[in-house]
Structure 1
Amino acid sequence: MKQTKRQMDIMRLLQIEKSCGVIELATKLGVSDETIRRDIKQMTQTGSVEKIHGGVMLPHSSLEPPFLRRLEEQRQEKQKIAKLAASIIGDGETLLIDNGSTSCYIAKELSAHRNMTIVTNSTEVARDLCARNNNTVYMAGGELRADDSAAYGPTAVSFAKQFSTERAILSIGALHGELGCFDFDLSEAEFKRAVIPQASSIVMVADHTKFNRPGVVKVCDFTRVDMLLTDQLPPQEIVDQIGRNHIHIA
């Protein structure tokens, strides 16, 4: 079931407020209470939200844990994906690598690669790849988040949009068979959406726990994904959307 624009607006409001009442949502979105209730019923069925008395909230499973904890979750799977990514990427490539736990493992696996040009908003990625093997690293400016010291906001987006790269390596928070690629933070999703047109090839990296997980903010449809690197074959509905030849399993 495809989310409507209004349902995406509800998700954006919940990303900020965490929970909202039906009347509050109806007022902010300029529709009737009954329309909001129909939206909530549909969104509850897909697992995007949870109903509470008089309103709706983000599901507990969609509240992303702090960055250091994410680094430890599915660590072995992420390391396998990172090794696979490094085997595909060649010396001298131009890459845009976003912030994310899997992206950080990929940066570590790329430590032996040479003559690369890297654009990133992640201080972790930049630290692992700068001043090494004649690589050039461009770090986006902007507001640094306390959780992971990554740069987000209009300044980071404007900086990244100056570059054109061969690949964009993007850690994605959720892959839904019907709805596409999602993240849990509006600023992360906005950064990904802005840089996708800047790369010739879009490589999504995600371990199996991201499959059919309820996301919060839409990043893109599966039509924008040129390659998915993962640790297990996704459910058939995701395979059908991306194409088996575009899925590589570590």
Structure 2
Amino acid sequence: MKQTKRQLAIMNMLQVEKSCGIIDLAKKLGVSDETIRRDIKEMAKFGAVEKIHGGVMLPNTALEAPFLRRLEVQRPVKKRIAELAASLILDGETLLIDNGSTSCYVAKALSSHRNLTVVTNSTEVARDLCARNNNKVYMAGGELRADDSAAYGPTAVNFAKQFATERVILSIAAISAEQGFLDCDLGEAEFKRAILPQTASVIVVADHTKFNRPGVVKVCDFGAVDLLLTDQLPPQSIIDKIGRDRILIA
């Protein structure tokens, strides 16, 4: 495959960012979204890149776990959302952080916070926050999934329900104007539903690719969420349901 200068530029960006959104690429290269989509389609045909929802990423090796791939999707955007979430959290707070990819970036953004008490079912979150700045981390037990080494099932749910926290940080797979907040995995949705009554404030962290995206299992209605942190305003149908005052843009 002989690449054009624009396609080479896309590859150079991917070498740095690992994944890029269609809209971001179009802005940086000064072309239309449709032009970028044609480039990506041609590059994907020869295996140079891999198309993902709303963007493109470098091809993954067969040994790379799906969770690691999700961490790379929309990585710069997820980092911005995570930094916004961290800015709302004070030293000494009690948090429950789930295992979603954006939630894991929130844990990294909390690296300078002190005296946090964190409950999680994520080994990734626990690793980033334990033994740091006098934090206390409580890790849920239960069955560890091979994909992401996170704990799910009745044992994890019962463990998390013992804690009353000031905030819950949730990643979410889909936000539907008709159905609310959804996930694609039954175990993840059950864990999220179980912890909602245990907290004073629910914060959902989700980038714009989750808006009106198909989900499988309902987590909660819009009324259960206090803040939605995202990178773009949702469609008006979603704004009408959650309220503009409960949406913060990173």
Q: Same fold by TM (over 0.5)?
A: yes
Q: Which residue of 2 aligns with 1:84?
A: 84
- Within 2, Cα distance between the matches of 1:95 and 1:246? 19
- Within 1, Cα distance between the matches of 2:133 and 2:166? 19
Is 2:156 aligned against 1:156?
A: yes
Is 2:224 aligned against 1:224?
A: yes
Shift of 1:174: 0.1
Superposition TM-score, scaled by structure 1 size: 0.74
Give the alignment of 1:1-250 within 5 angstroms.
66-250=66-250
Deviations 1:196-232 (A, max 9, x none): 0001000011000000001000000001010000000
Shift of 1:122: 0.2
- Within 2, Cα distance between the matches of 1:128 and 1:76? 19
Secondary structure in structure 2 of the residue aligned to 1:133? coil
Kindly indicate whether structure 1 or structure 2 has the higher relative contact order, using CA contacts under 8 Å at least 6 residues apart: 1
- Within 2, Cα distance between the matches of 1:170 and 1:88? 14
- Within 2, Cα distance between the matches of 1:240 and 1:89? 27
Deviations 1:22-48 (A, max 9, x none): xxxxxxxxxxxxxxxxxxxxxxxxxxx
Q: What is the alpha-carbon root mean square deviation over aligned residues?
A: 1.2
Which amino acid is the alignment partner of residue 115 of structure 1? N
Q: How many residues align?
A: 188
**Runs of 4+, deviation exceeding 6 Å:** none
Deviations 1:104-161 (A, max 9, x none): 1100000100001000000000000001000000000000000000000000000000
- Within 2, Cα distance between the matches of 1:165 and 1:237? 31
- Within 1, Cα distance between the matches of 2:234 and 2:70? 21
**Can you give the 5+ residue segments of structure 1 that lack an aligned partner in the other structure?**
1-59
Shift of 1:66: 1.5
Deviations 1:63-122 (A, max 9, x none): xx9111100000011000001001111101100000011011100000100001000000
- Within 1, Cα distance between the matches of 2:163 and 2:67? 27
- Within 2, Cα distance between the matches of 1:200 and 1:237? 26
Secondary structure in structure 1 of the residue aligned to 2:131? coil
- Within 2, Cα distance between the matches of 1:211 and 1:247? 13
Which amino acid is the alignment partner of residue 229 of structure 2? L
- Within 2, Cα distance between the matches of 1:80 and 1:207? 10
Identity of aligned residues (%): 76
Secondary structure in structure 2 of the residue aligned to 1:111? coil
Q: Which residue of 1 aligns with 2:35?
A: none
- Within 1, Cα distance between the matches of 2:200 and 2:86? 18
Shift of 1:178: 1.2
Secondary structure in structure 1 of the residue aligned to 2:170? strand
- Within 2, Cα distance between the matches of 1:116 and 1:196? 19
Which amino acid is the alignment partner of residue 105 of structure 1? Y
- Within 1, Cα distance between the matches of 2:139 and 2:248? 28
Superposition TM-score, scaled by structure 2 size: 0.74
- Within 2, Cα distance between the matches of 1:86 and 1:220? 23
- Within 2, Cα distance between the matches of 1:215 and 1:66? 18
Which amino acid is the alignment partner of residue 82 of structure 1? A
